[in-house]
Chain A
Amino acid sequence: MDSQNTAFRRTTLVFLFSGLGILVLAALSASIGSVTLPLDAVLKTLTGSTDVDPVMRQIILDFRLPRILTALLAGAALGTAGLLMQTVFRNPLADPFVLGVNSGASLGVALVLLALAPAGISLTEGLGASGQLLIIFASSAGAAATLFVVLLLSRRVDVMSVLIIGLMISYTVGAIVSILMFFSMAERLQSFINWSFGDYGNVSWSHLRLFAPAIFSGIIVSVLFIKPLDALLLGESYAQSIGTNTKRCRLLVLLAASILAGTVTGFCGPIGFLGIAAPHLSRYLCRTSSHRVLIPASILIGALLSLGSDFVSRGPGLDVVLPLNAITALVGAPVIIAALVKQRNMKRLFG
C-alpha cells in the first residue's frame, strides 16, 4: 500500500538522520574538550594508525572514547527503559524517573556509599570490579524493588494513580536518602552528590566490560518481547484474548527495564528525562506504535540525545563541566512540552 511506503520511508529517514547525528556528535565529542584535538588525529587513532601523538592517542582512547560509548549506551538504555515502562503502565509520562525507579536506585547507592562506606568503597576513584559490582547491584536492586512495589499497587488502582504512587514513593525514598545523608561524613556526601549530578566520565574501559553486557542483555530481552508489547497497547484483557501471557510479559519486561535503568543509574547517576523524551520523539517522528520500530528508534534517539546532552554539559569553549542531569532536563522537558502542544492533547499523543 502507498501509505505503508511513506511510513517505511519516514522510519528510514529517522534512523538515517539519528545515525548521522550520532556520528557527527561522536566526532565532535572526541575532538572538543578540555584540550581540542584535530579531527584527523581522532580518525587516525580510531583506524589504528600509529602516526599520532601518543598523548593525543591516549586522551582519545582512554578518556574520550569510553565516555562516548557510555553516553551512547546509557541513552539507548534509558530510551528503551522509558518505552517499556510507558507501554506496561499504559502511561505516557512513565519513565524510570517518574515512577521512582531512579530514587530506588539512589537509595541502593546511598546505602552502599553512605552506610556501607566505612568499608572504604568510593565511586569516583579506582574502584575494583567488586566495588563497582556492588554499586550496580545496589542500584539495580533498588530500582527493581521500587518498580515492583509500583507494579503491585498499580494492579489495584487506575493509571493516573500509578503516577501519583510513583511520585509518592520517590518522595519517601528521597526522605530516607536525606536521613542517610544527614548522618554521613562530608566526603562520602560529596561523592554521593557528585553521583547524583550524573556523569558519563566515571566509566572506564574496565567498567564498560560490565556496563555494556548488562545493557545489551536488557535490550535483547525487550526485543524478544516486541510482539507481546504491541499486544499490551490494547490493554490487558485484549492482550490476553489474542493469546498473550500478560503476567509473564509484564514481569520480564519490567525486569529488563529495571536492569537497564538500574545499570545506567548505578554507573552514571540518576539521569532524568531521556527516558520520556526518546520514546516520545520516536513515536512523534515515526508516527507509529509498533515496538518493532519504536525500540530501535528509541535506542538511536536516546543515544543521540544522551550524547548531545553530554557534549553540551562539558561546555565546549567553557572550562567547566555542568551537571548532566540539568542538561537532560533542559533538553527533555521542552521536547515533551512541544510534543504535547503540537498534538493538543495527551490522548492523541498516547491515548
Chain B
Amino acid sequence: MTKSSQENALTAGALSIGYQQGAAARYIAEDLNVSLEAGEFVCLLGPNGVGKSTLIRTLAGMQSPLSGQVQIAGSNFQDIPPRERARLVSVVLTETAPIGMMDAYTMVSLGRHPYSGRFGSLSVEDRERIEWSFDAVGARDLAQRQVAELSDGERQKVSIARALAQATQVMLLDEPTAFLDLPRRVELMSILRNLAHKEKLALLLSTHDLDLALRFADRFWVLTPEGQLIQGYPEAIAMSGDFAKVFASENLDWDASVGSFRAHPTPCLNAKVSGNGAAALWTKRALERLGFGTTEGHSKAAFSIAVQGQALWQVEHDGTTQDFDSITELINWIQSQDWSIVDL
C-alpha cells in the first residue's frame, strides 16, 4: 500500500479530548493530530482507563472535543446534520444487547435508518445491503435468531453487520473483542481487516489485546497514560520500546525479542534449561510462571533441566540427578520443593 494513493477519510487536528465538569475541564489527551485513511485497519492501543473510549466517542461525534476539530470527508463533523453523519460514520460499542424481542435481521436493519423514510420501511436496496452485511461477517444463518439468545461472539458479528449496513466510509469499534475467546477474537479481527482492505473502509478498533493487534493491524495508535498518541507501523512501535513505556508495570515487562509481555521480570532464583523444541519452550514458560528465571549458562542456577525430546526431563539438583517422564511430574516436583532455603 502506498500512502499517496490513499485518501483521508477522517482527520482530526489539534484535538483535545476529555470531559467538561462544570467550569473545569478534565483533559485526557491534548493536541492530537490523527488521520484515518480509507482501506486501512488501525488498532488503538493503550492500558485500561487511558481514554481509548473517550477518543473513539469523540471521533464518532458522540462527545464534543474540548478543542480542535474532527473532519470527515472534508467537512467539520459538528456541522453535519445527524442523518448525514450516520451515513459517514458507524460505531460498534461494547454494550451490544438491544432490548426487546429483537431478531438479528431487525437489529441489522436498524443500520438502514439513515437511508429509510419516516417509518423505517425497507426498500429492495436496503434489504440487499442488509443481506450483504450478514454475508460480509459470515452470519447469514443468524439472521432469524433472537439477539438475546446469541453468544457474545455471534452478537458482536451481528453488531458489526449492523454497522456495515450503514454503508459508511468510517467505522469505529470500541473494544469489540473484549468478551470473546481467542478463536472468536482471531476470526473477528481477520473479518475486520479483510473488510477494511476489500471495501476500502477506514476502520479504527480499540483493544488492549496487543498480541492480536500486532498480527492484524495496518497501523497502531498508542495512547499513553500521559495523553500522548504514538502512531506508526506495529513493528516499528514494537521495536522502539514505546510499549515498554506505555504498558510496563511492576510485574510485567515488554520483551521485544519475543514480541510479547513477560511476567515476573525479577525472579529470585534461576534455573538452567537446555534443549530445543516445544518441550523446552513450555518448560521455560512453566518456570517463569512459577517465578523462576531461566538461564542458558550455569551461573547462579538453583537447578538445571535438560529437556530431551517430549518424554524425558533430566533434573540436576544438589548434586543428584532425577528423571521425569512428563512435564506434569516435573512441575509437581518443582512445587513440592522448598526453595526458600536454597543457598546460592
Binding site for B on A (CB under 8 A): 1, 3, 87, 90, 92, 224, 226-227, 230-231, 233-235, 237-238, 240-245, 283-284, 287-290, 292, 347-351
**Residue of A226, A233, A245 touching B100 (CB-CB under 8 A):** A233
The reply to whether A283 and B101 form a contact with Cβ atoms under 8 Å apart is yes
Q: Which residue of B lies closest to A286 (CB)?
A: B101
**Residue of B100, B111, B149 touching A242 (CB-CB under 8 A):** B111
Asked if B86 lies at the interface with its beta carbon under 8 angstroms from chain A, I say yes
Least Cβ distance of B88 to chain A in Å?
10
11 A–B contacts, CB within 8 A, in A order: A234-B98, A234-B110, A235-B95, A237-B57, A240-B62, A241-B86, A242-B86, A242-B90, A288-B103, A289-B98, A289-B100
Assembly CA distance A351 to B119 (angstroms) = 24
A347: which B residues are within 8 A, CB to CB? Answer: 97, 148
Assembly CA distance A234 to B159 (angstroms) = 10
**Residue of B91, B120, B146, B147 touching A292 (CB-CB under 8 A):** B120
The reply to whether A289 and B106 form a contact with Cβ atoms under 8 Å apart is yes
Q: Which residue of B lies closest to A245 (CB)?
A: B82
Assembly CA distance A1 to B120 (angstroms) = 19
Q: Which residue of B lies closest to A283 (CB)?
A: B101
The reply to whether A348 and B106 form a contact with Cβ atoms under 8 Å apart is no
**Residue of A227, A234, A238 touching B119 (CB-CB under 8 A):** A227
Assembly CA distance A244 to B90 (angstroms) = 13
**Residue of B91, B101, B119, B148 touching A226 (CB-CB under 8 A):** B119
The reply to whether A226 and B102 form a contact with Cβ atoms under 8 Å apart is no
Assembly CA distance A224 to B120 (angstroms) = 11
A243: which B residues are within 8 A, CB to CB? Answer: 82-87, 113-114
B91: which A residues are within 8 A, CB to CB? Answer: 237-238, 241
Q: Give the most central of B97, B110, B144: most A CB within 10 Å.
A: B110
B101: which A residues are within 8 A, CB to CB? Answer: 283-284, 287-289, 349
The reply to whether A242 and B113 form a contact with Cβ atoms under 8 Å apart is yes
B111: which A residues are within 8 A, CB to CB? Answer: 242
The reply to whether B106 and A290 form a contact with Cβ atoms under 8 Å apart is yes
Identify which of residues 159-214 in chain B touch chain A, using a CB-to-CB cut-off of 8 Å: 166
Assembly CA distance A347 to B99 (angstroms) = 8
The reply to whether B99 and A231 form a contact with Cβ atoms under 8 Å apart is no
Assembly CA distance A287 to B101 (angstroms) = 6
Size of the chain B interface, CB-CB below 8 angstroms:
37
Assembly CA distance A233 to B109 (angstroms) = 13
Asked if B42 lies at the interface with its beta carbon under 8 angstroms from chain A, I say no
Q: Which residue of B lies closest to A289 (CB)?
A: B100
Q: A241-B91, A347-B148, A348-B146 are in contact. List 13 more A-B contacts (CB 8 A).
A: A226-B119, A230-B113, A231-B110, A233-B98, A233-B110, A235-B98, A238-B110, A240-B82, A241-B86, A243-B82, A287-B101, A289-B99, A349-B101
**Residue of B85, B95, B148 touching A348 (CB-CB under 8 A):** B148
The reply to whether B100 and A283 form a contact with Cβ atoms under 8 Å apart is yes
Least Cβ distance of B330 to chain A in Å?
46
Assembly CA distance A32 to B300 (angstroms) = 100
Assembly CA distance A288 to B107 (angstroms) = 11
Assembly CA distance A348 to B118 (angstroms) = 29
Q: Give the most central of A230, A242, A292: most B CB within 10 Å.
A: A242
Assembly CA distance A349 to B99 (angstroms) = 9
Assembly CA distance A231 to B82 (angstroms) = 13
A235: which B residues are within 8 A, CB to CB? Answer: 95, 98
Assembly CA distance A227 to B112 (angstroms) = 11
Least Cβ distance of A223 to chain B in Å?
8
The reply to whether B110 and A226 form a contact with Cβ atoms under 8 Å apart is no
The reply to whether B110 and A230 form a contact with Cβ atoms under 8 Å apart is yes
The reply to whether B102 and A233 form a contact with Cβ atoms under 8 Å apart is yes
Asked if B60 lies at the interface with its beta carbon under 8 angstroms from chain A, I say yes
Asked if B266 lies at the interface with its beta carbon under 8 angstroms from chain A, I say no
The reply to whether A351 and B82 form a contact with Cβ atoms under 8 Å apart is no
Asked if B93 lies at the interface with its beta carbon under 8 angstroms from chain A, I say yes
Asked if B116 lies at the interface with its beta carbon under 8 angstroms from chain A, I say yes
Asked if B89 lies at the interface with its beta carbon under 8 angstroms from chain A, I say yes
Map CB proximity to A onto B61-99 as digits: 1 under 8 Å, 0 otherwise.
Answer: 010000000000000000000111111011101010111
B107: which A residues are within 8 A, CB to CB? Answer: 234
The reply to whether B148 and A351 form a contact with Cβ atoms under 8 Å apart is yes
Assembly CA distance A283 to B103 (angstroms) = 12
The reply to whether B100 and A351 form a contact with Cβ atoms under 8 Å apart is yes
Least Cβ distance of B166 to chain A in Å?
7
The reply to whether B106 and A244 form a contact with Cβ atoms under 8 Å apart is no
Q: Which residue of B lies closest to A292 (CB)?
A: B119
B149: which A residues are within 8 A, CB to CB? Answer: 348
Assembly CA distance A294 to B151 (angstroms) = 26
* Known contacts A240-B62, A243-B113, A245-B82; A351/B99 CB under 8 A: yes
Q: Which residue of B lies closest to A233 (CB)?
A: B98
Assembly CA distance A321 to B100 (angstroms) = 37
Assembly CA distance A348 to B144 (angstroms) = 15
